[in-house]
Structure 1
Amino acid sequence: MEKRIVNRIIEYIFFSNFFMGLLSIGLNLETNIKLGLQLNDLDYYLFISSLSVIFYLFAYEIPIKKIKSSNQRTQFYIDHRKSIHTFNIILYIICCLSAISIFIKTYQNLFTLHWIHYLILIATFLLAISYYNWKFGFSLRKYTWFKPTLIAWTWAITTVYLPLLILQLTEGISNNWDARFYFLFSQTFMYFIVNAIMFDMKDYEDDTNRGLKTFVVKYGNQLMLNRVILPLIFLGFLSFILFGFWYDLPLHRILFMLVPIILMAIFAFKLNRPKSILYYLIAIDGMIFLKAIFGILSVILFEYEL
């Protein structure tokens, strides 16, 4: 009985995308801690985490007429329509109230921003909404490069760029757009591209039936693993080593920071083995959580600020 309850809780956390909110908070905390900055206010973390969950809930909205599905995750949304709807309303309230709170704190400084920040925010918003399947038929997620790229860009912006921007507006901190920021941004961007493609490998059969032109559908699992995922992981591995030597980090610290990338490479080789969708959600999203945890611990344990 207890095991069944635990399983239902795990299902709700991952199928409802609640875990995406925790990931968002973890990655934002990693950014602040790695860059040696003070943490953002509570309203910011409430805003960015609720917005992250809403983003995915809207993207996976199930038509009311649909009452049965062979996909375990889709069936979860069908079986829990009322509770998901209530969850959505709560998230919208939290998101709106926290956004208003942030606006009150920052509106006086909004017009002092350089135009490039407005361009980045507008471009990110347009990319994010292009993830959805709108009624007029336009969705970038249907095309090969765009789906992993827009996901990676959106996550990098909301977890690396945005916490610095909000601190700049609320606290006047404006001198941290340095090499460390760009390294962390590019690292997060590449990590999420690999993560998104790994999800596509998991969804190969489903995406084929829906006509989505993902990398995996177009080129096949094995080619994607050998020609795209592993080279990208290797580049991330190499960038960490170069960064460590550039800042004269001890070898044990470099090896510690490499653990999430090594685990991702190991997991990539196991993607061809059939598992439940819940397993993949826990494992693949768990890789991102590990990135945040190891990033934070690399500072706390070794007293080093990136």
Structure 2
Amino acid sequence: MRLIHPNRGAMAAVLLALCGVGLGGCDALDSINPFAEKYKPEVVPDVPADKLYSEGLARMEDKDYEGAAKKFGELDKAYSYSDWSRRALLMTAYSNYEGQKYDDAISASKRYLQRHPASKDAAYAQYLMAMSHYKQIPDVTRDQDRSEKALAGLQELVQKYPTSEYAADAKAKIQITRDQLAGKEMEVGRFYLERRNFPAAINRFRDVVSKYQTTRHAEEALERLVEAYMALGITAEAQTAAAVLGHNFPDSPWYKDAFALLQNGGLEPREEKTSWLSKVYRGVIGRTAEAQ
């Protein structure tokens, strides 16, 4: 078989005609020639980095937080992986936080921590991320996913950056967030208690006592445990709950209610050493008794 070669002159004429159409023709030439090298011009930012940064700051001063975030975002993209980019990314997070665009602030903070985990400003990025969750904590009647994320972020801040200037505020907000989570458990526990679903109620109050015993809800949770255990006839646990309540909060009105409830059943507060409550408060009752 004889191979037929294309007419080189005719092919050249076609290619020249394509280019003669204009730039679009030359693009077509590239598209039919897979071996041609693509020219990739270097993109040089039109605006100097310091000018973009100043424009972002100016918008921040005018409380145009959305515009500021946009400017800092432009700076981050135009000068990627530079020190300007690092600063711009943190300012993007801060602008979004101030503008109450908390999810955007969280995203920018996360990117900053991923790119610059050892930066001197990493603690602040962590603080912005945690506070963006914290600012979205709902009331106790709603899902507490934000509260849990806020707690995790604040705890991570304290653990990773214990000497940072944000640690003290984080610790205070950790207690507030824990109180919020305990409040949610109490609300659900009361719901079950009112409907006489005592095992479900006990599980909720048990979580409060086990996880959030330093919150203001601990007293009520212990008294509610006395109620639920008495209703089920589990008197040893009821007596232990009352004993723990009395030793830790002797002047609490919740203890008075628990004591009266036990008395009506011919019982009194008494620790059962094998109780899970005794293990949670291990040593508390014993140390108090010794002190007396």
Return the TM-score normalized by structure 2. Answer: 0.26
Larger Rg: 2
Which has a greater percent of helix? 1
Greater RCO, 1 or 2 (C-alpha within 8 Å, sep 6+):
1
